[in-house]
Structure 1
Amino acid sequence: MTDADQPSPPAPQGVEVDPRLLEVLVCPVTHGALELDRVKGELISRSARLAYPIRDGVPIMLPEEARDLTDAD
């Protein structure tokens, strides 16, 4: 079976994070505001150009775990 024959993965269902937690979280690099991307399951720091993953509803606020934002993001 080739990659083309395999079904595509299901679309993300979206994540939920406690709104009170989102009020107090800041980027650990810049100490700036974060944006929630429910579809990708990430907290976005535009100033640091990083996207922090959310796993099982828990934001992983470690710069080494973050994804670099691209120009398309």
Structure 2
Amino acid sequence: MPLESGLLDILACPACHAPLTEDQDQEATDSELRCTGQDCGLVYPVRDGIPVLLVDEARRPE
């Protein structure tokens, strides 16, 4: 489920405050938000259309 229009404009990574981009997995129903910071790069889950912007819930990219 894509995020509401304009939501990405106001969201930022809680760890480094860089902008986030949405990654939509073709097989999954939920997307992920990826930090665009060069030193950070955390990936945050989106569950049932709600971004979970908790550093403890984020994962490092592979």
User: Structure 1-normalised TM-score?
Assistant: 0.69
Unaligned runs of 5+ in 1: 1-14
Larger radius of gyration: 1
In 2, Cα distance between equivalents of 1:63 and 1:49: 11
Bigger fraction of residues in strand: 2
Bigger fraction of residues in helix: 1
**Aligned residues: percent identity?**
38
Unaligned runs of 5+ in 2: none
In 2, Cα distance between equivalents of 1:28 and 1:45: 9
Residue type of the alignment partner of 2:48: D
Tell me whether 1:69 sits opposite 2:61 in the alignment.
Answer: yes
Tell me the equivalent position of 1:45: 35
User: Which gives a bigger RCO, structure 1 or 2 (Cα 8 Å, sep 6+)?
Assistant: 2
More displaced, 56-65 or 33-42?
A: 33-42
